[in-house]
Amino acid sequence: MALALPLAGWAEAQLEAIRALAGTPALDGLSGVQLLGERAALNGFSIPGRRSAGGGCHLYDTIDGQVALTLARTDDRDLMPALFGDATIESDSDIVTAFATAQTNAIVTQGRQLGLAIAAIDEVPASPACRLRVTGGARPKRDRPPLVIDLSALWAGPLAGHLLGLAGAQVVKVESRNRSDRMREGDPMLFARLNQHKANVAIDLRDTEDRAALIALIRRADMVIAAARPRALAQLGIDADALVRDVPGLVWVTITGHGADGDAAHWIGFGDDCSVAGGLSAALREASGRIGFGGDACADPLTGLHAARQALAQWHKGTGAHLMLSMSAVVAEAIGWERARDAAGFTATLQRWTEAEGAPFPVVAARTTGPVAALGQDNGAWLC
């Protein structure tokens, strides 16, 4: 049997559902496995073990289990003394040693309070994969393609926006001038795949006029994709729930690491740590006895696919809604689906995956990239 990317079956099912809703030829050439393996193919990644394919996340042993921690942002390392309660923690080996004497629950709780992307291998997602938070009114009839405002950055949200574009929508990517999507420089090839054919608007969210212009743009939109915790947007004066109640037909999809139920609303998450929180590393351990990551940050592309599917399904209903997605719960749902479909086959896929540690990722079909807009190049066309 050839090496397969874990959870590719569920990814394909999401894409099938999007195709059935949209019926546009632009979606025909795509496959779920292509989207899951795209970043790894572009960057020449290897099958990960305890270090994630992209290198930003590691799995560590604790006294009573394993914990994944992403140290992707420059100042995350400054938080290591506060995470472990020890001012001397600095190097990678200090971190390994400190985890080895930590209790899983205590260290994950402390890390989440500190705003770190941390997850336990044996945790259960705190929120459902997709929660309907607020419902809105019926969308008025419009003689134009649906307008999508993509406020997100990195991978999951931009992929959702991209898929909605392939499904026939006009997509405007909005970036904050002081906190832009750094993937433009960090991974330009993936950025181009995810953001091709989108218009680009750049604003300063701290500026009153810019914020008013953004809210005016959102009020004309059919769908909004956001990947900030609701608190962060609310602190900037953008209240998604209120806008959904007020703008008939507006479909707002918020992508979060762990949903918005209770404390989880404050937790952050990236693709690899969320795949651990969703149970993929526990499934790998169960199947093979080994500790490692499944796929490449797979919570990102899986959530991008699911978000596009949910947004499109809601848009076809014709009424507004604020949908809250949880990346960790999306992974858990995908695992449950694969097990229900073919438990033995899923176990075999996971076994082959861990045995292939260090080998190149499975080859996925390449696809072409269209034009990528420069930061703010379409401000004149979209802001008034």
Partner 1 sequence: MKPGTKLKSAVCDTEVMVIRSGTGAIECGGSAMGEAKPDAVGTPAADFSAGTLMGKRYVDAAGSFELLCVKPGKGSLSVDGVALSPKDAKPLPASD
- Which chain residues interact with partner 1 by CB under 8 A? 54, 56, 70, 72-76, 78-79, 81-87, 110, 113-115, 153-155, 178-179, 181-183, 185-187, 190, 231-232, 235, 266, 270-272, 297, 300
What is the phi/psi pair of residue 256, to 5°?
A: -125, 170
Contacts of 217 (CB under 8 A, 6+ apart): 149, 172, 174, 201, 382, 383
Q: b vs e for 64-89, b when ≥16 Cβ sit within 10 Å of the residue's Cβ?
A: ebbbbbbbbbeebeebbeebbeeeeb
Of the two residues 45 and 346, which places its CB atom closer to partner 1 in the complex? Answer: 45
Taking the complex as a whole, the smallest distance from the CB of residue 345 to partner 1 amounts, in Å, to: 29
Return the biggest CA–CA distance within the chain: 63
Taking the complex as a whole, the smallest distance from the CB of residue 53 to partner 1 amounts, in Å, to: 11
Taking the complex as a whole, the smallest distance from the CB of residue 173 to partner 1 amounts, in Å, to: 14
Of the two residues 88 and 377, which places its CB atom closer to partner 1 in the complex? Answer: 88
Of the two residues 148 and 183, which places its CB atom closer to partner 1 in the complex? Answer: 183
Of the two residues 9 and 230, which places its CB atom closer to partner 1 in the complex? Answer: 230
Taking the complex as a whole, the smallest distance from the CB of residue 210 to partner 1 amounts, in Å, to: 17
Inter-CA distances, 287 with 18, 58, 273, Å: 31, 20, 19
Of the two residues 114 and 359, which places its CB atom closer to partner 1 in the complex? Answer: 114
Q: Is 173 in a helix, a strand, or coil? A: strand
Note the helical H segments in the chain.
8-22, 32-43, 80-84, 92-100, 104-113, 156-166, 183-186, 188-195, 208-220, 230-235, 240-246, 271-277, 280-288, 299-317, 327-355, 379-382
Taking the complex as a whole, the smallest distance from the CB of residue 19 to partner 1 amounts, in Å, to: 27
Taking the complex as a whole, the smallest distance from the CB of residue 236 to partner 1 amounts, in Å, to: 10
Taking the complex as a whole, the smallest distance from the CB of residue 251 to partner 1 amounts, in Å, to: 25
Inter-CA distances, 251 with 41, 135, 220, 356, Å: 33, 9, 12, 42
Taking the complex as a whole, the smallest distance from the CB of residue 230 to partner 1 amounts, in Å, to: 12
Q: Is 253 in a helix, a strand, or coil? A: strand
Of the two residues 17 and 82, which places its CB atom closer to partner 1 in the complex? Answer: 82
Inter-CA distances, 38 with 64, 172, 227, 309, 365, Å: 35, 23, 21, 19, 9
Of the two residues 37 and 56, which places its CB atom closer to partner 1 in the complex? Answer: 56
Of the two residues 107 and 287, which places its CB atom closer to partner 1 in the complex? Answer: 107
Q: How far apart are CA 252 and CA 286, in angstroms?
A: 37
Strand ranges of the sheet holding 57-62, from the earlier edge strand across to the other edge: 57-62, 65-70, 117-120
